Amino acid sequence: MIPSTPEILARLIAEPTVSRMSNLALLDHVESLLRPAGARIERFSHPDGSRANLFATVGPEGAGGVVLSGHTDVVPVEGQAWSSDPFTLTERGGRFHGRGTADMKGFVAASLRAALLAAARPLKRPLHLALSYDEEIGCIGVRGMIEALAARTERPALCIVGEPTEMRIATGHKGKRALRACCHGQEGHSALAPKALNALHLGAAFIQALQARQEALAAHGARDADYDIPYSTIHAGMMRGGTALNIVPGRCEIDFEIRNIAGDDPADILAGIAADAEAIAAPYRGRFPMACIEIEEVSGYPGLATRPDAPAARLLARLLDDETTLKVAFGTEGGLFDQALGLSTAICGPGSMEQGHKPDEFIAAGQLERCDAMLARLTEELETAA
């Protein structure tokens, strides 16, 4: 008997697949469900072998078909006050609570059930599942799988990324670059502070420059009214430096990000930030030759800008009987499937990101039911495809 979506979800939640931790036990369970149904399965592993992507297919061989894309990793629970064990699925008042229920193991569970049901049907086009790792830390893990698929002549046609949209069709999100600025000064005794170069002071000036760039984007940058924040943003999230109060710090690190709308080139924004960094450090270089602010990219992913009349959006409109589209504030792997694989891609999944990453994260039972219904209609489409 094919398990229900909540039954599958309970097993997925039981695996604490926090980013950078192993997801292999979860993938083993996925394979134990799919292989007896005849699914063709491949894994694409992290170099150290501790975690992997999984790509599974049911239906006929060959090109075409639809990819259901979801990530298996979740954010940590440390420091959060949960009412129940975050890694035990708990139902309360029509809501399923647990880490990852909304973001996004609910969709993964529904996709697995859909694949099991579809495997027994005479599909004319294949149904694919793409399960990734380390999405929450910059869409890092999926790249190995995408590179392997890009090298093939036969590829799927469409991709549905099942991030939580309350089963609405999302056609866009901003791109992201996560960056680190390393400020180099000169250490010294704090009693002789003017004879040294305080790296934290360089960092403070750098953050002021980031604020000025943000204000310029807000006032004069490109606009996309479909977003809650209709312009590109720059955000400083962490600052580290100093070892003791009586030591002038010689090094300071600042982690910051750029989230850009399609109308802005993040390379142009970063070039302006790099010019600011040089302008801050250059006046000190006569006395302190080492003075500089180096910027490196830590991670990033492209934005998604799918037209409402694109094949993936049209497919979802048919499945949901709703042509309304929106754009989401959070990032996804959708831009990588779109740009690196050339798949028409849209985002649609159960639950709300308002519940993600929080204590007592949940997904409503009705959302899972709506997702099951959509995927059942997708199977019918694949069965009757020309």
Known catalytic residues are 73, 135
Other CB atoms within a 10 A radius of the CB of residue 48 amount to 7
Residue with tokens 């979506």: 5
CA–CA separation, 202 and 253 (whole Å): 10
Task: Give which of 302, 264, 328 is closest to 143, Cα–Cα.
Answer: 302
Q: 14 in helix, strand or coil?
A: coil
Tokens of 13: 């939640």
Residues 6+ apart with CB under 8 A from 344: 157, 158, 159, 306, 310, 311, 312, 313, 338
CA–CA separation, 223 and 215 (whole Å): 14
Tokens of 254: 């600042």
Which ranges of 193-239 does DSSP label H, i.e. alpha helix? 199-220
Check if the beta carbon of residue 227 is closer than 8 Å to that of residue 208: no
DSSP 88-123: S-EEETTEEESTTIIIIIHHHHHHHHHHHHHTTS--
Residue with tokens 């075409």: 64
Which ranges of 221-330 does DSSP label H, i.e. alpha helix? 266-281, 311-320
Displacement of CA 234 from its chain's centroid (Å): 18
CA–CA separation, 346 and 325 (whole Å): 10
Quote the DSSP letter at residue 283: G
CA–CA separation, 132 and 47 (whole Å): 14
